[in-house]
Amino acid sequence: MTGESAVRIGLLLPDLLGTYGDCGNAEILQRRLQWRGFPATVVPITVDDAVADSLDVYVIGGGEDSAQSLAADFLARQAGLARAVGRGAPVLAVCAGLQVLGREFTTEHGRVRTGLGVLDLVTTPARDRAVGGIRTRPVSSLLTESLTGFENHQGHSALGPAAQPLGRIEHGTGNGDGFDGAIQGRVVGTYLHGPALARNPELADLLLNWAVGAPLRPLEVPGLAELRRQRLSRPWRRR
Amino acid sequence: MTVLHRPSSRTRPSLPIRTRAAVAVGNAAARGSRAAGLGRGGIIGGRVSLALQPAALAHLCRERVVVLVTGTNGKSTTTCMLAAALQPFGEVACNASGANMPDGLVAALAASPAARYAALEVDENHLPAVLSEVTPAAVVLLNLSRDQLDRTGEVRRTENVLRAALASCPSTMVIANCDDPLAASAAMAAANPVWLSAGNAWRGDSASCPRCGSAVREALGGWRCFCGFARPAPAWVLDDDGELVHRNGLRIRLAPALPGRANAGNLAFAAVAAGSLGVPLGAAAAAAGTVDQVDGRYRVVGYQQHRVRLLLAKNPAGWAETLRILAPGTDPAVLAVNAREADGTDPSWLWDVAFDALRGRQIVASGNRAMDLSVRLSYAEVGHLVVPDPLAAVATLPRGPVELVGNYTAFRDATARLADDR
């Protein structure tokens, strides 16, 4: 399936930020393209690699605190992702990924770290860890369907004026201010695991529409409508 | 080795009076719980004993030879195998039924008051608490990988606390898998580590160095990080032919009744642990190899017109091993995934399992999170049906052999129902 014309999906730091199943987001984007006739490949970018600025879409996931600091070191050494964002490449950043793409975050040891700054947000440690199901309503007019996921983090993310929240919280904690995540240009951040794109196909297709530059035909994935019905309607299990 | 035979008694004479009383009350609570049909009584009895005597675990381990088995996967199997290896030399207290927190340990010890040996599996996150009470002869550390992130937190934190705990017991022999960088990192802190090379099928949590976070690479002599942290040289190697080979040339053939490379590894750990207590290795390996089921796992049971093999897989590393066990066959499979509290309530880990290995097989997605599994299988392009009840799922398949793979509560509930059904 790979060739000159294949859509290339950059899976950033699966070795550091692959703890919470978020690598699945890359596989989901790949299949949703392939099933619609677009050749697509996943390009894993580990801590030993350089970040190519030429990929069509990027995903970065959640991980442990020490891994998050290493990821911030890695991104500080690399200009590729910032260049890709600058030319309009879509990015999905989940949990620790959201935090390192922000302007600044404070580690569990109280150290303030500079992030990549492609999302206008600052993250500080929250008092309690947020663990459990989360449901939000999209804020942006780019999305219409409720978002569902599982959150597991202890970050409070405050958005600046350049970023818009992704969703308004109906259940759960998210950023800690009644909203979850952020959209800024084509960079989307969220605290949702599940993975986020497994449970929220509309968000997957928003990223893919941006990546291929054209609306994509609808897609039925066996089991997905029922999964969304269950996760959006059932009582929420919090820890 | 010297084997002491003690006269059996309900309570060890050396126990302090308060502990004896606490154990007696706990045992009574366990009998009551069993009689009321509430369960096997293990945990409640231990909980009662510990409430009455917080030092019960320490007291019950006195004058016994204790081996603790910990790690993310394989604890129950290895513990069961170790108990089988020790059995010919004296009674063994054993908790290989998953009750692996301090209350479960107390219950197992209280149930076998005269046992000279204790082979106990310990939840990896509870090992530090147990080691603060007990000085075992040996600790076996099998592996460390992600499991139940919503409940137990991240695996590197577990590695950190294990490292500190193992450093605090200098007289204990620590037998650990040198092929697993996280397990090796924790065991390297021990005064007396014995390294066993048993393989590492799933590397999702060991791609980055547990000491510095950089990439762990394959090199001559095994994995290595540029910070200097590297695979220790093993005393024992489980080779590809299933032989356990010591660096001095001694070879022991392993013949596990249980399938899969992981179980050969578990057998190797059980044999080496028994050997560390003085049991002849050949005899230990032979006895441990006869274990053919562990609390229902790997058992084949009849259900309607089916012969159902029961397998447990509850995290990505466990699934990687289970997929290897399933790989040679073509039998239809029911995959049952729950996300109850004891399973971890976030099934996102399903996306770290390479289910594409099951393409072409007849598959039924089941369990209370059957839909999460269904979507995962759809994206892996594995055709499947969805039947949330695992036994109803089995019934939809053609008569004959069926693999039933469940995570913790899905497996437990299915095995209990199959036992009732017989």
pLDDT digits (tens, 9 = 90+) for A38-73: 999 999 999 889 999 999 999 999 988 888 988 999
**Which residues of A are known binding-site members for substrate?**
129
The answer to whether the Cβ–Cβ distance between A67 and B213 falls below 8 Å is yes
The whole-number average pLDDT for the span B307-328 is 92
The whole-number average pLDDT for the span A134-161 is 96
Identify the pLDDT of residue B40: 63
Which pLDDT band, with edges at 50, 70 and 90, does B42 fall under? low
Q: How many percent of chain A have pLDDT more than 90?
A: 85
Find the CB nearest B375 among A15, A20, A221: A221
Could you give the C-alpha distances from B107 to A52, A235, B58, B295, in angstroms and in order? Answer: 57, 36, 13, 17
Find the CB nearest A223 among B151, B339, B374: B374
For B248-295, the pLDDT digits (tens) are: 999 999 999 999 999 999 999 999 999 999 999 999 999 999 999 998
Statement: residue B308 has pLDDT above 90:
yes
Which pLDDT band, with edges at 50, 70 and 90, does B27 fall under? confident
Residue B272 — φ and ψ, nearest 5°? -65, -40
Statement: residue B316 has pLDDT above 80:
yes
Statement: residue A238 has pLDDT above 50:
no
Which pLDDT band, with edges at 50, 70 and 90, does B180 fall under? very high
Active site residue A95: yes
Residue pointed to by tokens 């290897």: B324
Identify the pLDDT of residue B39: 64
Statement: residue B367 has pLDDT above 90:
yes
Statement: residue B212 has pLDDT above 90:
no
Statement: residue A228 has pLDDT above 90:
yes
- Interface of chain B toward chain A, CB-CB under 8 angstroms: 146, 149-151, 154-157, 204-205, 207-208, 213-215, 339, 345-346, 348-352, 365, 371-372, 374-381, 386
Identify the pLDDT of residue A237: 54
Residue A16 — φ and ψ, nearest 5°? -105, -40
User: How far is residue A161's CA from residue A152's CA, in Å, rounded to a whole number?
Assistant: 26
The answer to whether the Cβ–Cβ distance between A227 and B386 falls below 8 Å is no
Statement: residue A153 has pLDDT above 90:
yes
Which pLDDT band, with edges at 50, 70 and 90, does A139 fall under? very high
Which pLDDT band, with edges at 50, 70 and 90, does B25 fall under? confident
Computed over every residue of chain A, the mean pLDDT equals 93
User: How far is residue A125's CA from residue A132's CA, in Å, rounded to a whole number?
Assistant: 18
Query: Catalytic one among B331, B346, B352, B389?
Result: B346
- Chain B residues within an 8 Å CB radius of A59: none
B209 is in an annotated binding site: yes
For A168-226, the pLDDT digits (tens) are: 999 999 999 999 999 999 999 999 999 999 999 999 999 999 999 989 999 999 999 99
Burial of A93 per CB tally in 10 Å (0-12, 13-18, 19+): buried
- DSSP H or E run through B33: helix B17-35
Computed over every residue of chain B, the mean pLDDT equals 90
Identify the pLDDT of residue B7: 38
Give the number of other CB atoms < 10 A from CB of residue B154.
19
Q: Are strands A91-94 and A40-45 parallel, antiparallel or unpaired?
A: unpaired
Residue B317 — φ and ψ, nearest 5°? -65, -40
- Chain B residues within an 8 Å CB radius of A22: 348, 351
- Chain A residues within an 8 Å CB radius of B149: 19-20, 152
Which pLDDT band, with edges at 50, 70 and 90, does A77 fall under? very high
Residue B270 — φ and ψ, nearest 5°? -60, -45
- Of B20-34, B74-88, B165-179, B366-380, the least confident: B20-34
The answer to whether the Cβ–Cβ distance between A223 and B378 falls below 8 Å is yes
Q: Are strands A182-184 and A187-190 parallel, antiparallel or unpaired?
A: antiparallel
User: How far is residue A46's CA from residue A74's CA, in Å, rounded to a whole number?
Assistant: 10
The whole-number average pLDDT for the span B191-198 is 95
The whole-number average pLDDT for the span B112-131 is 94
User: How far is residue A140's CA from residue A179's CA, in Å, rounded to a whole number?
Assistant: 12
ipTM of the complex: 0.96
Identify the pLDDT of residue B236: 97
Between residues A116 and A108, which one has the greater pLDDT? A116
Q: How far apart are the first and last CA of chain B?
A: 44
The whole-number average pLDDT for the span B376-399 is 97
For A88-99, the pLDDT digits (tens) are: 999 999 999 999
Q: Output the six-digit token pair for B247.
A: 């660096």
Between residues B156 and A85, which one has the greater pLDDT? A85
CB pairs under 8 A between A and B: 108
Identify the pLDDT of residue A143: 97
The answer to whether the Cβ–Cβ distance between B381 and A31 falls below 8 Å is yes
Statement: residue B194 has pLDDT above 80:
yes
Which pLDDT band, with edges at 50, 70 and 90, does B215 fall under? confident
B169 is in an annotated binding site: no
Nearest CA in chain A to B214: A47
Cα A89 from chain centre? 14
User: How far is residue A170's CA from residue A192's CA, in Å, rounded to a whole number?
Assistant: 13
Statement: residue B380 has pLDDT above 50:
yes
SS3 B207: coil
The whole-number average pLDDT for the span A78-87 is 95
